[in-house]
């Protein structure tokens, strides 16, 4: 396993500061200057190129998250906007993105002689398979929840329509049989 970069070995609060400074639009040189002001030991101070690689990784991650969020938002707009399922759909899309990125990275790996490298060991394949299984389960759970919410909304809407129809029928003096026929039509049931 490759050794962690100097940036990755910095304390979490300093890595968060680097992310925050980058989000504020500071350049690599400005971030390095800020790190020097924090009094980081010389042997722990990342190089400019190391910091640049780290920032590029942050930018790439932000782009992937943005892409996943855009896909999830489009999915939510297409399939409905139930607040309970919005986060689940975002998480599902993020997981799809991660799995896709892993597979693409594996496909791009090459050996020294130019052949394609084997990127996954059996344990990694097992974890990937489990991830896909959990993702499929999450999609089913989300779909079930969406159906349940739609059924609840339909039931409430029909109940409100029946109540309104009963009130109007009472005002207009309709017979009990007529009221029952109207309710049956709203609820989509047969009158015996």
Render pLDDT for 106-158 as a digit per residue (tens, 0 to 9): 655 554 545 555 456 677 777 877 877 887 788 788 888 888 999 999 889 88
pLDDT in tens, 48-67: 998 898 888 888 877 877 88
Q: Which residues does residue 110 pair with via DSSP β-bridges, in sequence order?
A: 116
Does 43 or 109 have the greater pLDDT score?
A: 43
Tens digits of residue pLDDT in 15-41: 888 888 988 989 999 999 998 888 888
Domain ranges of the chain: 1-81
**16-24: which pairs have CB atoms within 8 A and are 24 or more residues apart?**
18/51, 18/54, 18/55, 18/58, 19/58, 22/55, 22/58, 22/59
pLDDT at position 79: 60
* The pLDDT value given to residue 148: 92
- The chain-wide mean pLDDT, for the chain, equals 78
User: For 69-74, which contacts have Cβ atoms below 8 Å and span 24 or more sequence positions?
Assistant: 69/93, 71/97
């Amino acid at each position: 396993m490759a050794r962690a970069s100097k940036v990755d070995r910095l304390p979490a609060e300093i890595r968060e500061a680097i992310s925050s400074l980058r989000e504020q639009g500071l350049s690599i040189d400005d971030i390095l200057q800020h790190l020097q002001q924090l009094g980081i030991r010389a042997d722990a101070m990342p190089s400019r190129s190391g910091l640049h690689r780290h920032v590029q990784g942050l930018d790439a991650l932000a782009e992937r998250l943005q892409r996943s969020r855009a896909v999830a938002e489009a999915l939510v707009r297409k399939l409905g906007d139930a607040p309970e399922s919005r986060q689940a759909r975002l998480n599902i899309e993020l997981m799809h993105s991660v799995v896709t990125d892993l597979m693409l990275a594996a496909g791009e790996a090459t050996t020294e002689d130019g052949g394609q490298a084997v990127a996954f060991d059996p344990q990694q394949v097992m974890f990937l398979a489990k991830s896909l299984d959990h993702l499929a389960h999450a999609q089913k759970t989300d779909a079930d929840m969406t159906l349940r919410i739609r059924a609840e909304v339909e039931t409430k809407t029909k109940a409100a329509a029946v109540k309104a129809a009963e009130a109007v029928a009472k005002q207009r003096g309709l017979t009990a049989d007529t009221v029952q026929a109207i309710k049956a039509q709203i609820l989509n049931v047969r009158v015996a």
